[in-house]
Copies of this chain bind each other. A is one copy, B any other.
Amino acid sequence: MPATPEQLRPLFYPRSVAVLGASSHPLKFGFQYLRALQDFGFPGRLYPVNPELNEVLGLKVYPSVAALPEPVDLATVSVPAPAVPAALRECLARGIPGAQVLSAGFREAGPEGRRLEAELADLARQGIRVIGPNCFGVYSPAAGITLMPGSEFSRESGPVGFFSQSGGGSCDLAYMARGRGLRFSVLVSYGNGCDLETVDLLEYFRADPETRVVGAYLEGVRDGRAFFAALKRCAAEKPVVIYKGGLTETGRAGARSHTGSLAGEAPTWKAALKQAGAIAAESLPDLVECLMACVCLGDFTGAGLGILAGGGARNVEALDAAGHTDFRVPAISSGTEAAIAAKIPPAGGRAGNPTDLANPAMAPSVIGPVMEALAGEPEVDALLLYQAVFYLHKEVRRYRAKSPAGPALKLDYHLELAEAAERIRRKTGKPLLMILPDVASDPAHAEMEEARRVARQHYTSRGIPCFDHAEAALSVLKRLRARNLRAGGVCDKFGGYPATPA
């Protein structure tokens, strides 16, 4: 039976959590999970369960589920695989509505594991919803719960609902997403999915008002037909991005041994994802960037770009990327060209589309009006600006230290640019895509790399997606655009994005 969203809410927003298999050994899941919830600041009631312990991490330990002072909302199970069925029976007897089974050693581990997993599925049908086994469970910032290795995930909620068959993949994704301004409503690492699986989660996120964009890492699905029907329903209401691992012959073998999934054939999957209206991601980093673009760019469907950079090779790279992804870089009117030429240095600079700003240290008071002029062109639908934090930062500092207007200028260059782009978008509806390459690559330049990451926050918190290179930006934009054209505008418009504190 697919779960109703109401059935899942206690699992995703628990006020009380029991940990079966609580441990005092720092390498055991039953220790690390407790510690992660404490570190993360879970505000609810936390009950370790283990008949052989009295206390762990300052918490009283209960000998059994029966002995708990209340039937909790969520049981986290980390006992060895053969003991999991008995643990779930205890939970069932106590009327606990849901459990997440972190333990491995099930379907992915051979015949005995398959038998055990079938037993879990039977127990689930008797009245407890089960996440896992072989998973890291639920990250729900509003409820204050996180994955076992997720104590450093963001405490802020946001518009992305995510589910993943892989626990490690969930973690990599959440950490990659954090610095790109992505915040989650709920993230579910559901592992082998003996009970709750893709259909339940798609239905939940479709119905969930907190979730505006849905993402998933999948290796296989239990019932392909039901999955694609649920995907189609969800994608008709919200953008959905799927990274399907194991689409090559070598990858399929890996998916089978990882989560016991039958991964399916690449052409079938790709055609089905497209037909269902989902965006197909090619890797975990690509998945993160697709989600960022969905959140920041909403219902964008344009095909014309206005490109500007401080340096010709950067423009050539952006133009090549546009050529590879079928975006147009329309010529601009002579009036616009003259307006831009009046702003930029004559030597080294070049007005037009693209505009070469001559050097990467150009002041926001120049770049802002150039962006605005390009955005004023009717055939330009989005802007693409390519800057490098590293020497820009140094040059700008040097310049400002010498400039008589120095103290009157705002301190942060990228904050100024982000605000200018935000104003232009409010006025024209045309978004900016920002490219900040990874040039401070040496540990000796750690301060500059940190500045790049702060700059990225200035952009993403204002709905400006920020990429490492132009090829990635436009590959992602192309897929978002195709999705939006098919979906006929079913997507949030800019303005709904909750800004994260910069």
Give residues in A with beta carbon < 8 Å to B. 26-27, 80-81, 103-105, 108-109, 134, 149, 152, 154, 164-169, 171-172, 175-180, 217, 219, 245-251, 253-255, 257-259, 282-285, 310-324, 327-329, 346-348, 350, 352, 354, 356, 358-360, 388, 390-391, 394-395, 398-399, 402, 437-443, 445-446, 449-450, 453-454, 456-457, 468-471
Can you list 13 A-B contacts with CB-CB less than 8 angstroms, sorted by A residue number? Answer: A109-B347, A166-B312, A166-B313, A168-B313, A169-B311, A169-B314, A171-B439, A246-B316, A248-B319, A250-B319, A257-B352, A442-B453, A449-B450
A258 to B327, CA, bound (A): 20
Q: Which residues of B contact A470 (CB under 8 A)?
A: 283
Give the oligomeric copy count.
2
* Contact among B254, B323, B457 with A312 in the assembled complex (CB-CB below 8 Å): B254
Q: Nearest-CB distance from A263 to chain B (Å)? A: 9
Which residue, A171, A172, A179, has most C-beta atoms of chain B within 10 A? A172
Q: Nearest-CB distance from A148 to chain B (Å)? A: 10
A248 to B282, CA, bound (A): 23
Q: Nearest-CB distance from A136 to chain B (Å)? A: 10
A145 to B324, CA, bound (A): 38
- A171 in contact with B251 given A312-B259, A313-B164, A445-B179 (CB within 8 Å): no
Q: Which residues of B contact A81 (CB under 8 A)?
A: 347
Task: Please tell me if the beta carbons of A442 and B319 are within 8 angstroms of each other in the complex.
Answer: no
Task: Please tell me if the beta carbons of B317 and A283 are within 8 angstroms of each other in the complex.
Answer: yes
Query: Closest 10 CB pairs between A and B?
Result: A248-B323, A168-B311, A179-B441, A169-B313, A258-B312, A166-B313, A175-B439, A251-B320, A245-B316, A179-B442
Q: Nearest-CB distance from A184 to chain B (Å)? A: 14
Beta-carbon nearest neighbor of A314 in chain B: B168
Q: Which residues of B contact A358 (CB under 8 A)?
A: 104
Q: Which residues of B contact A395 (CB under 8 A)?
A: 149
A422 to B407, CA, bound (A): 52
Beta-carbon nearest neighbor of A253 in chain B: B319
Q: Nearest-CB distance from A363 to chain B (Å)? A: 11
Q: Nearest-CB distance from A313 to chain B (Å)? A: 3
Task: Please tell me if the beta carbons of B446 and A172 are within 8 angstroms of each other in the complex.
Answer: no
Beta-carbon nearest neighbor of A255 in chain B: B316
Q: Which residues of B contact A350 (CB under 8 A)?
A: 108, 257-258
Given contacts A175-B445, A441-B456, 16 further A-B contacts (CB under 8 A): A104-B358, A175-B441, A176-B441, A179-B441, A245-B313, A245-B316, A246-B316, A246-B320, A247-B320, A248-B324, A254-B312, A254-B315, A255-B316, A257-B312, A259-B312, A442-B457
